[in-house]
Amino acid sequence: MAKAKTKFACQSCGYESPKWMGKCPGCNAWNTMVEETEHVYKHRGGSTSPLLAKKEKATSIVKVDTANEPRISTPYPEFNRVVGGGIVPGSLVLVGGDPGIGKSTLLLQISDALSSQKLKVLYVSGEESIKQTKLRADRLGALSESLYVLCETNMEAIQEAIDEVEPNCLIIDSIQTVFDPSVTSAPGSVSQVRECTGILMRIAKLRGVATFVVGHVTKEGTIAGPRMLEHMVDCVLYFEGERHHTYRVLRAVKNRFGSTNEMGIFEMRESGLTEVSNPSELFLSERPMGASGSAVLASMEGTRPVLVEIQTLVSPTNFPSPRRTATGFDHNRLSLIIAVLEKRNGMHLQHHDAYINVAGGIKIDEPAADLAVAVSLASSLRDRPTKPFDVVFGEIGLTGEVRAVSRVEQRVNEAMKLGFKRVILPENSLKGWTPPVGIEIIGVQTVSDALQTAFD
């Protein structure tokens, strides 16, 4: 009998080494190398699932029929928009988020919505018993004859349940608890996660089962396990938000069937997650009127315009190096805007601390937020409030010019819908569209023009 081989695998990136090392050469993480036995894929014989034994033949691409592959729409437009317009049959979706953020609640509500459309849904929980899942379903009102619940972590038993139920949608909660008996390493290890995800991917593609997999996250906020896990799936969703706040944000960081810039907003209540149909009104509901350091930005989250409040606090400092702190905004971008204000507009910010916050917990990563940040910085430094019904957006260049941005018409219409009276935007963005009646549009070429207009 041959001696079993051992190896050391990094639990963060999947790097393999024949000997132990304190620091992983692949991701430079410390103390992540764990000893594993070299797994050998056993021949299962008659116990092999007929689903995985099915063989596909090569087909000419012009003969592939895609007309009978409609997306599965749910009663949640926020969720549909994030996944690209609906759930694609045969897709493999990875859902990540902090513990207790509401991943299981979201997927159980989606399961109930799909089962109410006469679709079979198999919910496999490796972390909760069937009774615990039933208690959650009672609280959410997710009770349907087409929703099947299974408490199992053995991959072979899960395959047998799939063959028996023949679901249209499969949910695995979570992938770190599932193990394949043919792999000798412990559940949650790199080898187990990779092998189980590969089996689920083959099930999804061969049978056309829409599969959702829940993944744990690390303390850095990324999905635990090898990076290969995110490459194998079709869509990666992050469920974000503060545990002590009621609002949750669903984002797509990878999507083979849609845009990765979309965002869905939900509110956590006792009866489950409810959609927030008008996030602009939500983010501006507590905005103080007449306070300095506040400016309203018209931002784009995918195809949706969202108005958010940019708050800035500029205060003198006694230290030689002033602090630059940004929450919800790129720190490097903040330093660039401060440098432009100092060089091109003569503002003395080198002896002041600057704190910026995007109200509501939302993250802004588009360059169109530059002008609103500059206006709020100037407002706080001069202690002069901006006009309460102004909306500002535009990209700032290093020479102090204001550059054009995309989707101007949608931003202006959103501002007009919420009752704003004036929009300050790049002058080059006025080309190619007709401004609506009832709102004043002011185009600016430089940051100096924008500041003069905002405080005139």
Which residues does the annotation place in the binding site for ATP? 97-104
Taking the CA atoms of residue 27, residue 30, residue 34 and residue 35 in that order, the dihedral angle to the nearest 10 degrees is 100
Tell me the C-alpha to C-alpha distance, in Å, between residue 213 and each of 86, 153, 176, 248.
17, 13, 10, 19
* Best CA proximity match to 223, nearest among 93, 28, 128: 93
DSSP secondary structure, 140-200, as one string: HT---TTEEEEE--BHHHHHHHHHHH--SEEEEE-GGG-B-TTS-SPTTSHHHHHHHHHHH
Interaxial angle between packed helices 370-382 and 331-345, expressed in degrees from 0 to 180 and rounded to the nearest 10: 60
Positions at the binding site: 97-104
The DSSP bridge partners found for residue 95 are: 214, 237
**257: its two tokens:** 């069937």
Nearest alpha-carbon partner for 392 in 425, 438, 362: 425
Number of other CB atoms surrounding residue 432 within 10 Å: 8
Q: Which residue type is seen at 76?
A: Y
